[in-house]
Amino acid sequence: MDRYLSGFSNIIHLWVTLGKLYRAVGHFAIQLAQLSGAHIVAHIRHPDYEALVKAAGAQSVVIGEDLSPASEFGPYHLILDSVGGAVLGTGLGLLAQDGVLVLFGTSAGSEVTFNASRFYGTGGASLYGLILFHELKRESAAVGLKRLANLVATGQLRPHIEVEAPWTQVAEVAQQLLNRRYVGKAVLHIDR
């Protein structure tokens, strides 16, 4: 995903779909796109996350299952989609010429219907399936992690830390994560 974000100029229009919950991937994607100079439109299904996506850098937010408001902000040079289903179908029709939709999840479903004429008629639009293990064949994780760590260290990338606890509470914190009790990251402190 980083290679897409770093290759666009400041005229990019980016649409980030964030699935059922606003998680770390969307939070980081919005901030990385902002560093690239993008105009960012975030799609969330629940209004509780609007303040979080705006704080991360989204200039516009589309809330709910109705995606028609997203068209007023497009066309999009890059769409990052973790939802799939109808969102993917809509997104394919909103790409700009030579735009890319990067699909990295299907939380709303794997089946999709889309307007093929609109998609190919755009010219150069493409759909890219992103799976981590395939990406690691191209480039070591150390390269991207080093860049992210440097951005965090310089304050340009801000992790959303919601839970801090002693490492002895790892089981409880892990269960809270599995139960989706918190949105951000958990930090476990190790006593000296």
- How far, in Å, CA of 155 to CA of 192, rounded? 26
Q: Are the C-beta atoms of residues 38 and 12 closer than 8 Å to each other? A: yes
Contact at 8 Å (CB) between 43 and 68? Answer: no
**The token pair that represents 154 in the structure block:** 């310089």
- pTM for the predicted model, two decimal places: 0.79
Beta bridge partners of 76: 95
List, edge to edge, every strand of the sheet that includes 60-63: 60-63, 39-44, 13-17, 76-81, 95-103, 126-129
pLDDT in tens, the chain (192 residues): 455 445 444 435 566 666 544 567 788 888 888 888 888 888 888 888 898 889 889 999 988 877 788 888 888 888 888 888 888 888 899 999 999 999 888 777 788 888 888 888 999 999 999 888 888 888 888 888 898 899 999 999 888 888 999 999 999 999 998 887 887 788 999 987
Give the whole-angstrom CA distance, residue 4 versus residue 170.
35
d(CA 24, CA 9): 24
For domain 2-134, the CATH class is alpha beta
One-letter amino acid for residue 76 of the chain: Y
State the Cα angle at 26 between 186 and 93, rounded to 5°: 160
Domain boundaries, the chain: 2-134, 160-192
